[in-house]
Structure formats: structure tokens, C-alpha cells
Amino acid sequence: MSTTASAGRIALVTGGSGGIGQAVVDRLVADGFSVAVHYARNQAKTDAIVENIVAAGGSAIAVDGDIADENAMRTVFDRVEDAFGGIDVVVNTAGIMMLAPIATLHLDDLDRMYRTNIRGTFVVSQQAARRVRKGGAIVNFSTTVTRTSFPSYGGYVASKAAIEALTLVLARELRGKDITVNAVAPGPTATPLFFDGKDKRTIQNLSTAAPLERLGTPDDVAEIVAFLAGPARWVNGQVIFVNGGLA
């Protein structure tokens, strides 16, 4: 789907002020989408993103809410529909990651990841399944670590594996509605979430682990999201690994 064909289409991006989320927002705006940029805490950054889009001639609004709260997300979807007249694409980049060996992971951290990553994705997917228009797309986010199985990622990977399963089931439940449902599974990507808690040696090792011998960039991931949001009408019920050949 070309930029011209995407003009007039509406996207909601959860976690739209994050590293990958912001890249997705920028790419969809460049493709002609009007975008609702969702945030949970970082209002100032989100407002700045929206202001920059509007100043450049694009169309965007900021929306906030806890993605795991069904009432808050119902309100978010209502606001998007009121502002733009409908929703064609939902990209759910919002998520959290806390790393520790399974033997020592604090169960409160496990519960936090499950609430945001699993329940949050379920709530957003549920609203998307009810609201996305014919010809639309739902894009959830997993991780390449579901394949690489790195130590200390057990709790996080378990939450992301659940997202993959949810995504594949939803694709089949939306039979006949002409809505695609896929998941993107990035590898090591240069974002604040990736760098948090890692020492220089770990970062260097991960930077050279893939055959392309570099970290991914948010733009690398946004390119795939834009493909799934636009022209990829025959890609459905898939997990797309975006990792430079790491796994």
C-alpha cells in the first residue's frame, strides 16, 4: 500500500512515546496515516511528538491510559474514533521488561510484566477486534528471545510467548472481517528498554551476535510494522522475527 493509499487511514499506537513506538508513529505518519499516540506516563514527550507532527502538516493526537485497564482503553478507543471517525490499524508496542534468573525473579515483578504485557495486550486486542474497520490490521509485539532463550529472560519471555499465542488465535477468530493480526518479534534493538541494566560487555556481545553484526534500530522495526499496517494483506496470523538473522 503506497503513501497515497494510506492517506486517510487511522492508526492507534500504544507506547507511542517509547523508542520503537515513536519510530512506528513517525513511519506511519510518513505513510499518510493520522495517528493517535498513546502514553501511560510520559505526557510531555508525547505532547512534543504530536506537536512536531502537526507542525509538519501531519495529523495526530495524544491519548493516555493504562493499557491493562479495560475502562481506560475503551475511553482511548472512543477518543480516537471521535477525533478521526474510525480506526484502521492498532499497533501495540507498549510493554515492560524486568530481567532476573527464574530462581530469583521477584514475583511482584512477574506480576507487573504479566499485567502490562499479557493483560494489556489482551485488553488492547479485545478493543481492536471490536473496533478496527474492514481492511485494517492489528500488530502486537513479542521478542526474538522466545527463540534465543537467553538466561534471565524467563519471566519476560513467558509473557511474550503468551502474546504470540493470543495473536495467532485472534487472527483466526476474525475470519471473514478482512482484518490481519500479526506479531513482530524484534531482536536486540537500540532503545532505552534494551540498554537498561546491561553492562558494556553484554551490549557488545549482543551487538555482534547477529550475522549483520549490529544492533537493530527502531526504524528497522518500524519498517516491518508499516508493511503489516499497509500492503501486507496476505500476511496474517504470523510472528515476524526482526533480528538481523540472530535466530
Q: What are the residue numbers of the active site?
A: 156
- Cβ–Cβ < 8 Å for 235, 179: no
The CB density around residue 51, as the number of other CB atoms within 10 Å, is 12
The secondary structure of residue 189, as a DSSP letter, is B
- Residue 16: phi and psi, rounded to 5, are -70, -5
Angle between the 218-229 and 19-30 helix axes, to the nearest 10 degrees?
50
- Cβ–Cβ < 8 Å for 242, 142: no
DSSP 3-state assignment of 95? Answer: coil
Cell of 213: 553484526
